[in-house]
Amino acid sequence: MAHFDENAKPFGNKWLDERIGLNTLTRVLQTEYWIPKDINFLWAMGMVLAATFGVLLLSGIFLLMYYKPDANLAFDSVNYTIMTEVGYGWLWRHVHGVGASIVFLIIYIHMFTGIYYGSYKRGRELIWLSGMALFVAFSAEAFSGYMLPWGQMSYWAGMVITNLFSLGSIEAYGLVEWIRGDYVPGDAYLTRFFMLHVLLIPLVIIGLIVLHFGTLRLPHVNNQEGEDFDYKEAADLYKAGKVKESKVIPFSPVFLSKDIFVMGVYFILFFYLVFYNFEFAMDPVNFDPADGLKTPAHIYPEWYFLWSYEILRPFNKDIGLIAFGVAQAALFFLPFIDRSPVVAPAHKRKLFNIWFWALVVIMIALTALGKLPPEGIYNDLGLFFAVAFLCMGPLLVWITIKEKNEMKGA
């Protein structure tokens, strides 16, 4: 039976500690949540993502107040009511649009940091998997949100992406119609994607963020050298006042102080884009109202989906879909494709280093080609890089098995 001090001041430190374990929480989540000291600013991307999600949530709440999920009203509610009439409505919209785009830049940096430093192995598999689940959830959130202004790009992206679910030669158009609730993307479609965007997917994202943080606590985050050291020993050293010698720092306030500085710099870039350079995130074509009888001259997804969109393009429908599916799933299994027990930055792993930079180049090439018109040389390059991407998985298996054998041999 717990002891409760009758004289403790209500809502004081002791009073709270006895009721919700305030001191334990502070210790476990902040002052004695040990982070390795040997890290760089890339380790702040997690908090930058959390902050961006917060900004998206907040701006989204204010957009929700005047948005109308109705195929006849949606476009004008966004472009007239919110942009013209609502006080600072334009600010929320620009913040929301730019935030939705830039969050993927940070997600990709965060992912590639994980790959570069091998941070998905040795007890950190669940961090990677929950992170990938977050990537999928964010992708769904971005897509559903892209429907809402109900412009030309919204409509035709909705048309094309839902058609993927016809599953090629299986011709499951019944499934496509079920997803749309109509023969084409229409009112029912818009309203259900509105629901997904403002309720279901955000709930999933919040749950996954909690899980992602949870999977991080026991294995601790990786460090710049992939060094495995005794956290208890390092923590004792830190607590004994030998902060210089210790290999760890507490999450709060030491690690956090750096996070906040990185966030500040990030928000300079963020708001520069919001005020002065937003067209990359708010495509001009989407300022034409949805028209089911006219496809825009060029249609392409937002930049963060381009690489997977490009994998779809060079093949016939069935093979394209399979390639697309494989590409989406492949990254999930990274911790299991990589057979090497080595946890070290790529620049210390010869072949893996080449593999890593090749992956970066291939994905950037696919991204660029995904937006270029599918004609002439761009088609050939598209096929080349799509095949190259698909080869990267088996190649990694081979590289890492070799690495493992070399280790055994040494």
Q: Is the dihedral of CA 180, 182, 185, 188 positive or negative?
A: negative
Supply the DSSP symbol for 136.
H
Interface pick for another protein out of 258, 308, 334, 335 (rule CB under 8 A):
258
Which of 343, 123, 120 has the alpha carbon at shortest distance from 218?
A: 123
Task: Please state the closest distance from residue 164 (CB atom) to another protein, in A.
Answer: 22
Interface residues for another protein in 295-314 (CB under 8 A)? 297-298, 300, 303, 306
Q: Provide, for the chain, the percentages of residues in helix, strand and coil under a 3-state DSSP scheme, each rounded to the nearest 5.
A: 70, 0, 25
Task: Please state the closest distance from residue 238 (CB atom) to another protein, in A.
Answer: 9
- How far apart are the C-alpha atoms of 149 and 146, rounded to whole Å? 7
By the 8 A CB rule, do 303 and 280 touch?
A: yes
Which helix (DSSP H) or strand (DSSP E) does residue 50 occupy? helix 45-64
Interface residues for another protein in 138-177 (CB under 8 A)? none
Which helix (DSSP H) or strand (DSSP E) does residue 326 occupy? helix 317-330
For position 373 contacting another protein by CB under 8 A, the verdict is: yes
Nearer to another protein, 62 or 143 (CB): 62
By the 8 A CB rule, do 148 and 197 touch?
A: yes
For position 249 contacting another protein by CB under 8 A, the verdict is: yes
Interface pick for another protein out of 165, 213, 267, 384 (rule CB under 8 A):
267
Nearer to another protein, 367 or 400 (CB): 367
Interface pick for another protein out of 285, 331, 342, 358 (rule CB under 8 A):
285
Task: Please state the closest distance from residue 401 (CB atom) to another protein, in A.
Answer: 29
Interface pick for another protein out of 173, 178, 271, 336 (rule CB under 8 A):
271
Distance of CA 317 to the CA centre of its chain: 28
Task: Please state the closest distance from residue 75 (CB atom) to another protein, in A.
Answer: 9
Interface pick for another protein out of 260, 322, 326, 401 (rule CB under 8 A):
260
Q: Which residue has tokens 């502070």?
A: 26
For position 13 contacting another protein by CB under 8 A, the verdict is: no
Q: Write the DSSP string, 370-382.
A: HHS-S-THHHHHH
Nearer to another protein, 170 or 265 (CB): 265
- Per CB under 8 A, the segment of 174-182, 292-300, 319-327, 388-396 that binds another protein is 292-300
Task: Please state the closest distance from residue 260 (CB atom) to another protein, in A.
Answer: 5
Q: Is the dihedral of CA 87, 92, 93, 94 positive or negative?
A: positive
Q: Is the dihedral of CA 90, 94, 100, 103 positive or negative?
A: negative
Which of 40, 23, 44 has the alpha carbon at shortest distance from 32?
A: 23
For position 265 contacting another protein by CB under 8 A, the verdict is: yes
* Per-residue CA distances from 241 to 52, 125, 231, 236, 249 (Å): 35, 33, 16, 9, 11
Dihedral in degrees, nearest 10, Cα atoms 125, 131, 137, 141: -170
140, two tokens? 């769904």
Interface pick for another protein out of 140, 235, 331, 372 (rule CB under 8 A):
372
By the 8 A CB rule, do 266 and 54 touch?
A: no
32, two tokens? 């004695």
Neighbour count for residue 82 (Cβ, 10 Å) = 22
Nearer to another protein, 44 or 196 (CB): 44
- Per CB under 8 A, the segment of 5-13, 21-29, 46-54, 278-286 that binds another protein is 278-286
For position 42 contacting another protein by CB under 8 A, the verdict is: yes
Interface pick for another protein out of 36, 89, 145, 185 (rule CB under 8 A):
89
Interface pick for another protein out of 272, 333, 336, 398 (rule CB under 8 A):
272
Task: Please state the closest distance from residue 14 (CB atom) to another protein, in A.
Answer: 23
For position 254 contacting another protein by CB under 8 A, the verdict is: yes
Neighbour count for residue 1 (Cβ, 10 Å) = 3
Give me the numbers of helices (H) and strands (E) for the chain, helices first please.
Answer: 17, 2
Nearer to another protein, 263 or 337 (CB): 263
For position 223 contacting another protein by CB under 8 A, the verdict is: no
Site of interaction with another protein (CB under 8 A)? 37, 40-42, 62, 65, 76, 79-81, 83-92, 94, 105, 109, 243-244, 249, 253-254, 257-258, 260-261, 263-265, 267-268, 271-272, 274-276, 279-280, 282, 284-285, 287-289, 297-298, 300, 303, 306, 360, 364, 367-368, 371-373
